[in-house]
Each structure stands twice: as structure tokens, then as C-alpha cells.
Amino acid sequence: MQLRTEWVDRQLNGRTMRGYLARPRAAGTNLLPTVVVIQEIWGVDDHIQDMANRFAMAGYQALAPDLYSWGETPPALTQERIQGVKKFLDTMPPQGWGDPAIREEHIQRLPPEEGHRIRETLGALFGQRDTDSMIAQLKGWVDWADSQSSPIVTVGYCMGGMLSFLLATQEHRVRAAVCNYGRAPTEEQMASIEAPVYGFYGGTDHAITDAVPSVAETMKKLGKTFHYKIYPQAGHAFFNDTRVSYNVDAARHAWAETLHFFAQTLD
């Protein structure tokens, strides 16, 4: 299928933010439902653009907001710098990803200037996150889609999964939300959600997945709709086919379920 893809800009509070937009070319100017595809910490990289393209090929208008672009992308969060960090992390054992001491040990082996860049970008990626800013941007993009009278659903991955779930607690124009291996909002936040939520999780991703049954109980107690699927042999980021974490069986099933979930919701 031929797609029309472009980067689009929008003003929010006097500052520019940008997003990657994909649509089926043959759809012309026809109104399509919008899938807001919410990034991992790696930004709107090749994987997230590919996911947007896949939703476009399924007949949606897919928008992937670049949540690092509002105003101006910080030097530490450019795609070039982030790609360098990905390559660096692939040189160490998986447990090093979440262990600053192991990461620093490996950084010390790099040339000083390269080590400084890696350290700075790691700090920007894994340090304190401005979730409020990200939610504000996502609401701005919901405004943009709503101005076209386009029904809106959201899907996110890792950090984006968390944001997809959280956005649905604050933005009632979201008709359905998919959370891929992301943390859930608080019970107080979940109390205001109206959209159904579907979560997909890796069984070996204990830091996130172990909390899912409790999330399901809370959503049920609150009278909310929450479906979830845990893939026992999959880990974190099983959808990302550019990483060693990719699990084809889990990704194939979660993709089919996501499309079915959206189709049911928007029918």
C-alpha cells in the first residue's frame, strides 16, 4: 500500500511541536479515525514511524507526536545521540540497563568525549520525566485530530504505554487506549477514565507485569473496562523488532488484538 507520510507542526502555548503523520494515499482527503501512536523513550525513531505506517496501512490516520520536540529538541535527545546510546547499551549485559553502576563502568571504557555524550543522553532519557509536559502535548494533538472531527484512539509502547493509559484518564475524547508494557495510573486517576483500555505485557517483565492483576482488580472495582494479555515467554518491549527483546509470537497476537479492539470500539 502506498502511504502519504509527512512531519507536521502545531503550535502549543507559543511553541512548536511536531509529529509524524501517515495516511493511506488512496484514502485521499477522506475522514479517517486517528490513532495516536505514543513513543518509547527512544523518541519517534524508525520503530515508532514503522508502527505509525502499519496503522496507516490498516486504514487509519496515524500520528506519532515527537514528545521531545516542543520548543526545541534538547541536544542530548536528538535521534543521532539516542541511536548512539542504543548501540552503547547493546554492548553490555541486560541487567546493566537498569543499573547505573554497571552503565558507568562501561562508560569509563569509552573515549572521554564519547563517554560524556553517552552519560548526558542517558541522564536525559532515564532521569526525571516531565510527564505533565508530555500529557499537555498529547492533549494538543487530540485537539488537532478533534478539529478534523476524527474519532481518536491511542496506543503506546513502554513510556508511551504509560502515557496512553494516563491520557485516557484526563481526555474523554479518547475512545479507546492500548497500553503496551507501560505502568498504570493511580487508582485516583483511573476513577475518571471513560474509555476501555487493553494492556499487553511480557511475562518476564516483572517490574511492570507483576502489578497487572492488581490494576485489573482496581479497574473492575471502579466499574471500568480493562482487558489484558500476558505473554509468558515475552519480556519488556516485545513489540520492538529493532531490539533483541522482540518476540514475534507475542507481537503478532498483540497486533491482531489491537486492531480488533480499535475496530470494535469505533464501530
- Active site (catalytic) residues: 158, 205, 236
Pull the grid cell for residue 88.
552503547
Where do the H-state alpha helices sit in 20-78? 46-57
* 49 neighbors 20 (Cβ within 8 angstroms): yes
Q: What type of residue is 44?
A: V
Asked whether 147 and 61 are in contact (CB, 8 A), the reply is: no
Instruction: State the distance between the two ends of the chain, measured CA to CA, in whole angstroms.
Output: 23
| Alpha-carbon gap, residue 132 to 5, rounded angstroms | 28
Query: Distance (Å, rounded) from C-alpha 89 to C-alpha 107?
Result: 10
Are the CB atoms for 234 and 203 separated by under 8 Å? yes
Q: Using CA atoms, how far apart are residues 106 and 100, in angstroms rounded to an integer?
A: 10
**Cβ-proximal residues to 90 (8 Å cutoff; 6+ apart), any chain:** 244
Q: Which residues contact 64 (CB under 8 A, 6 or more apart)?
A: 19, 20, 21, 36, 37, 38, 39, 44, 48, 49, 51, 52
Residue carrying C-alpha cell 518476564: 204
